[in-house]
Amino acid sequence: MNLNNILNKPYKHGFRIKLNSHTLKGGLNYKLLNNYKLLNKELTLVSKLRKTSLKILFNLKIPDWSYIDIPDINYDILIYYSKPIINNKILLNKTLQKLGFSSINDGIIKNTALDVIFDSVSVFNSIKPYLNKFGILFISLFEAINLFPNILFRYICTVVPIHDNFYSTINSIVFSEGSFCYIPQDVICNFNLSTYFRTNTKNFAQFERTLLIASKCSYVFYTEGCTAPIYKESQLHIAIVEIIIKYRGFVKYITVQNWYKGNNLGEGGVYNFTTKRGYCYEFSELEWVQVEVGSSITWKYPSTILKGDYSVSKFYSISFVTDFQVADTGSKILHLGNFTKSLILSKSISLNMSKNIYRGLIEVYKNSFGSLNKTECDSLLFGNNALTVTIPYSKIFNYLSNIEQEALISKIDEYYLFFLRQRGMTLTNSISLLVNSFCSNIYDKLPLEFISEIPYLIFNKIEESYV
């Protein structure tokens, strides 16, 4: 058995759709922002937000504290805005079918509302009128800016301020499209709200922004997925997600990240720098579930601020990297309210030359009495060159709260592989079986339709790397 026998199999979603596009490129400067304003006829508030963020960026520097060795990014040659020219429904339907989507009726049958973000614009939003009957808003971000500016500007940049970090500031300068979701008071949303992000244009950088507001006693599931075409040059993705959950609200936010990871020599792939954060009021709950299998570089820490008493946050993560992928991910949870609870369950799987870093922060403030946290980080290695690192960081400022942390590192034993292969299983199937068993307690947190899809997705990633 040769662990370095790597295949250069094609990435399933690596196709490029041939479409003409209106584009904006150039450096991060006021000329670019003026072009944004003219092209999209932006409100003055949006233009002011962009220009304020640009001023702040001049005083920030690229963070260098991660294990990730980030290549220099030439911001002067990037395409910051790309709007595909889709003049008729026939072309739109062909585009959606190429991406694996179909009609509005399918959305109702599958109990799913879908928003498709293609490069910088939303090209499809299913069953929006149907959701409006219940007062649920699930529309593109810029549609929300134009229709409900008072609501949107009351909340945007409140959870992730424009000066929060270097990459969130860049997003605030050139954010393009995303989803806006508002669940009214006492509404249980029986539809799974889903956004699919797709990049298509060469040298394009996607800067989507999502804002989700759950009112008092509301309930919603939100899912996002993403893919990208294959280019030899790397692409950039910088995103922001802000979630506000009012009294007794519940949000389950699921991410399946499958950006192009680059080839088996480490060329190309997507640089994924994302800031996700939720703000929980009294008795509310935010549940993060993420499956990270793509991107050549991933740098993200979905976080929760437990402001209200008895608020709860749970974080479930699978980070699967292979070849030359690098992932620096984890979670931050800040306990501000009394009797708040949090749970972190992280599974890291590293194959070949990959690097997988878990980085977590738990902070319990001095007035957050009776708060509880449990963190469990498990890592699985295969091969002699894979690296996994666990960096938990805890700060507790009172004696009436409790933090528990566990960490385990193990490797896929070749004896197990030998045993399974003697039963007629291939190397790919054997590794996949062991990985799926390792992640089984997180699979249980996924929606029913994903429970079979995610193991198959991981199987494909293993198949791309091993015979």
Q: How crowded is the C-beta side of 282, counted as CA atoms within 13 Å? A: 2
Average pLDDT over residues 158-177: 95
Separation of alpha carbons 223 and 194, rounded Å: 5
Backbone dihedral region for residue 119 (phi beyond 0: left; psi -120 to 50: alpha; all else: beta):
left
Model confidence at 387: pLDDT above 70: yes
Q: Of 348, 346, 427, 439, which Cα lies nearest the Cα of 386?
A: 348
Give the phi and the psi of residue 161 in degrees, each rounded to 5. -65, 160
- Output phi, psi for 320, to 5 deg: -115, 120
CB atoms near residue 158 (< 10 Å): 12
Question: pLDDT digit string (tens) for 357-384?
Answer: 999 999 999 999 999 999 999 999 988 8
Tokens of 8: 């250069």
pLDDT at position 444, please? 87
Closest CA to 435 of 302, 322, 299: 322
Identify whether the C-beta of residue 123 lies closer than 8 Å to the C-beta of residue 92: yes
Count the residues in the chain: 467
CB 184: neighbour CB atoms within 10 A? 16
What does the pLDDT average to over 161-184?
Answer: 95
HEC sequence for the chain = CCCCCCCCCCCCCCCCCCCCEEEEECCCCHHHHHHHHHHHCCCHHHHHHHHHHHHHHCCCCCCCCCCCCCCCCCCCCCEEEEEECCCCHHHHHHHHHHHCCCCHHHHHHCCEEEEEEECCEEEEECCHHHHHCCCCEEEEHHHHHHHCHHHHHHHCCCCCCCCCCHHHHHHHHHCCCCEEEEECCCCEEEEEEEEEEECCCCCEEECCEEEEEECCCCEEEEEEEEECCCCCCCEEEEEEEEEEECCCCEEEEEEEECCCCCCCCCCCCEEEEEEEEEEECCCCEEEEEEEECCCCEEEECCEEEECCCCCEEEEEEEEEECCCCEEEEEEEEEECCCCCEEEEEEEEEEECCCEEEEEEEEEECCCCCCCEEEEEEEEEEECCCCEEEEEEEEEECCCCCEEEEEEEEEECCHHHHHHHHHCCCCHHHHHHHHHHHHCHHHHCCCCHHHHHHHHHHHHHHHHHHCC
* pLDDT per position as a tens digit, 439-451: 988 988 887 777 7
Q: Which residue has the tokens 């977590």?
A: 360
Of residues 341 and 416, more confidence is placed in 341
pLDDT band at 467; cut points 50, 70, 90: very low
pLDDT band at 2 (very low <50, low <70, confident <90, very high): very low
Domain ranges of the chain: 21-300, 419-467
The pLDDT value recorded for residue 437 is: 87
- Give me the mean pLDDT over the 196-222 stretch: 95
* pLDDT tens readout for residues 305-345: 999 999 999 999 999 999 899 999 999 999 999 999 999 99
Q: Does position 8 have pLDDT exceeding 60, yes or no?
A: no
Bridge partner list, 238: 273
Most confident of 100-109, 135-144, 198-207, 281-290: 281-290
Closest to 167 measured CA to CA, from 288, 60, 257, 34: 60
Residue 7, pLDDT score: 34
Cα–Cα dist 206/117, whole Å: 10
Per-residue pLDDT band at 388 (split at 50, 70, 90): very high
Pairing between strand 387-396 and 21-25?
unpaired
| Structure token pair of residue 441 | 């307690």
The four Cα atoms 139, 186, 334, 174 give a dihedral, to 10 degrees, of 10
